Amino acid sequence: MSATRHKQLVLILARELASNLATPTFIADEQGLLLFYNEAAEGVVGAAFAEVGEVPMDEWTTSFSPRSLADSTPLPPEQRPARIALDAQRPVHERFRVTTRDGSEQDVAVTAIPLFAHADEFVGIIVIFWRADA
């Protein structure tokens, strides 16, 4: 029961941080379930989190059609920062191209960081991104 409380606390604090940032931010649990994204991320997603709700990571990352900057080839899930942070439990930073819900293309820089309640207790990830061409 203690581990559950710590897990929830870390994710609650991450959500609180994200909700106060002007930088688009996503929070996902240790299974890759999208738990929250902030108001700044709504511009890319095209909808408020309350409208989208909790969805599996591969579903929400695929919806942006991430592609390489060099030749616009689709990025497989294992090369996406969120998936790397989730699977390898290590931070990663990458730049790539996405298509927003309104159909516009944007080059983005993405940093995904694993979240731990304790050194050996992985609880999820936080993904922060911004326009790379800005």
Q: Which residues contact 32 (CB under 8 A, 6 or more apart)?
A: 56, 57, 58, 82, 83, 86
Average the pLDDT over 69-80 and give the result. Answer: 92
What is the share, in percent, of the chain residues with pLDDT greater than 70?
Answer: 93
Rounded Cα distance between 33 and 112, Å, is 14
- Over the stretch 117-126, which tens digit does the pLDDT of each residue have? 989 999 999 9
Whether the predicted pLDDT of 32 surpasses 50? yes
Task: Write down the pTM of the prediction.
Answer: 0.87
Whether the predicted pLDDT of 1 surpasses 90? no
Q: Which domains does the chain have, with CATH numbers?
A: 2-131 (3.30.450.20)
Residue 37 — φ and ψ, nearest 5°? -140, 150
> For residues 82 and 124, is the Cβ–Cβ distance under 8 A?
no
Whether the predicted pLDDT of 69 surpasses 70? yes
